[in-house]
Structure 1
C-alpha cells in the first residue's frame, strides 16, 4: 500500500489518500491504511498514473547518436529503458521510421531488424515496451517489410507520414534542406537528389500503399494515426478512413477540424515545455489553451512528459488531473489499452509514478509497473 499521497485520478486529486495493490493491480483507493500489509509512506507527495508515450523516436538517437555512428541495439534499448522508467513512463511506444529515401536509421532493413530485436527484449525490460511503426508514404519499398511485421504481430501502433517538401512540416524546399542537411551532414547536391526522389515517389502509388496497410492494420487490431496534417481536407479524410489520431498537426486549421470531427490531437511535450515548436509550427500551449489538444507524447525527449503536465497546470491552462490525462488515460484510450492501464482506478494495473513537487520543481521518486518498483531515487 502507498499511503499519505495526493492520488491523481481522472476525476481529480484525492488528498491524504492510500492506494492498495494486489497481484499487480489496484485493489482499493481510500483514506487511512489497512493493517498488516507493506506500506510505502508517500509523505504527501503526488501519486500519478504511469505515463503512456505513443511516440518517441529517442531509440533512433540511442542507436545512432551521430551520423553513421551506431551502437548495438540491445545496449541502446536497455539504457534507454532505465531512462524511460526514471521519467515516469510506464508504457513506451518506440517509434521506428520506414523512410528509405531519407537518411540514418530510417531505412527498411535496419528499421525492421531493430523492431524484431526490441520485441525480443521486451520481457526483460522495466517498462511496458511496444512498437510504433511510422510509414513514410514516399517509401513504396517499405510496404512488404511492414506487411510482414504486421502479420507477425510485431507492431502495436501504425502511422503514416509525408515529409516531402511543400506541405506538412516542411512548407517549402528550403525548410526541408535546412532541417535534414545539417542533422545528417548532407550536401546541397545530396539533398536535391533526395528531394527529387521523394517527390517522384509521392506521385506513384502512395494512395494504394496507404490503403493496403490501413486495411491490414484493421485486420490485426492495430491502432492507426496520421502525422503532420496541415489542412481541413486531410483531417476530413482521416475521419472518412476512421483514423482516430492526428500527430503534430501543424496549424490551427487542422486542430480545429480535428476537434470538430472527434479526432484526437497528439502534440509534443517538448513543445509545451519550450513554449514553441521545433519546426516553428503550431504552439502546443496555444492549441491546448484553445481546447484543441488531447494527447501529449515525448516525441524526441522522454524527460519532458512530466514537465509538460506541470507546465500546463502552472500556467493555468488545465487543472492538474486534466493535464495528466493527456499523458495517461487519453493516449491509452486512443490505442485501445485503457481497459488495463492509463489511470489510477480499481482493477487496473498499478502503473504509477510517485513525484515530489514540493518546491515547484518535480522529481520522480519511484516508478511502478504492475505494482513492481522499476525505478527509485534511493
Structure 2
C-alpha cells in the first residue's frame, strides 16, 4: 500500500539556492518537490524550518569516543555502536563512513595503540545486516603509516567488506598535522598523561618505526586500498610535495589539508 507524507511550508535547501516549498514523500522516497508556502490538507506544516538532504560523514572518530568513554573504560561494542548511530542521526547525518584505525604498535609503546579494526568492522557489518541502525554505515580504514601491524591488519579485509575509503595517515611528529611538535606533546600528554621522559621515548619510537617501515607501509596501504576497491584519501597534506605524492598514489580525496598550498 502506498503511503504518502507531505511536508509543506519549509525552507528547502536545494543544490544552489534555498526556496520555500514542500516535499511529497511516497514509500520513503521523494516523489515531488513543490514551491510556495501553501499547506495542503493532511500535510505537516514545517513553519519555515529548513529541510535539507541528509549529511554524509566521510571521516569521524566519534565511535571510538563511545567505545572508550573515559580512560581505562571499554564499553561493550554493540551499545557503543548504537549510541554512535543515534547521536549522528540526531545531527542530520544519514550516511557515515566509520573511520577505523588499522595499524597498531603492540610492542614497547608508551601510548595505547592496540588492534581493534577487524572485530569492530565485523560487528558493524553484522548489525547493518540485522537492520537495527537509524542511518547507513560504511567502512573507512585509517591506515596508520607509522605502525607495526598495518599490512597484516589490512590483509584481514576483503572486497566483501565493501570498504569505502582507505586514508593514508602519517602521524609521525614534526610534520603534517603535528608540524609543531609542542602541539603534539600537548595532545599526547593531555590524552595519555605521558611524562616528559615517556613522551620523548614515544617520539623516538615513532621516528624509528617511520624509518624502518614507513615507506613500505605507505606503498602497501595504496595497494591494499586498490585491492579493496576503496577510494584513496590523503590526510593532513601540508606541502606541495605531499600533494604531488598523493596525486601519484591516485588519491581522490584530501582530508583536512592544513595549509593552502596547491589547493
Q: Same fold (TM over 0.5)?
A: yes
1:249 match: secondary structure:
coil
2:146 match: secondary structure:
coil
Q: CA deviation at 1:147?
A: 2.1
- Structure 2 gap segments, 5+ residues each: 1-5
Report 1:98-247 matches (<5 A): 98-101=102-105, 103-104=111-112, 106-108=113-115, 110-122=116-128, 123-153=131-161, 155-247=163-255
- Measured in 1, the distance between the counterparts of 2:226 and 2:78 equals 31
- Measured in 1, the distance between the counterparts of 2:27 and 2:220 equals 41
Q: Which residue of 2 aligns with 1:278?
A: none
Over the aligned positions, Cα root-mean-square deviation in angstroms equals 2.2
90-99 or 24-33, which moves further after superposition? 24-33
- Structure 1 gap segments, 5+ residues each: 260-378
1:94–1:129 CA contact under 8 A, matched in 2: yes
- Measured in 2, the distance between the counterparts of 1:213 and 1:163 equals 15
More contact order relative to length (CA 8 Å, sep ≥ 6): 1
- Equivalent residue pairs, number: 251
49-58 or 241-250, which moves further after superposition? 241-250
1:150–1:216 CA contact under 8 A, matched in 2: no
- Measured in 1, the distance between the counterparts of 2:24 and 2:180 equals 54
Q: Which residue of 2 aligns with 1:56?
A: 60
Q: Which residue of 1 aligns with 2:8?
A: 3
Q: Work out whether 1:83 is the aligned partner of 2:91.
A: no
Q: Structure 2 vs 1, CA of residues 148 and 58 (structure 1 numbering), >3 Å: closer, same or farther?
A: same
- Measured in 2, the distance between the counterparts of 1:219 and 1:113 equals 20
Q: What TM-score do the two structures reach when normalised by structure 1?
A: 0.62
- Measured in 1, the distance between the counterparts of 2:231 and 2:178 equals 26
- Measured in 2, the distance between the counterparts of 1:76 and 1:154 equals 22
Q: Structure 2 vs 1, CA of residues 199 and 82 (structure 1 numbering), >3 Å: closer, same or farther?
A: same
1:160 match: secondary structure:
strand
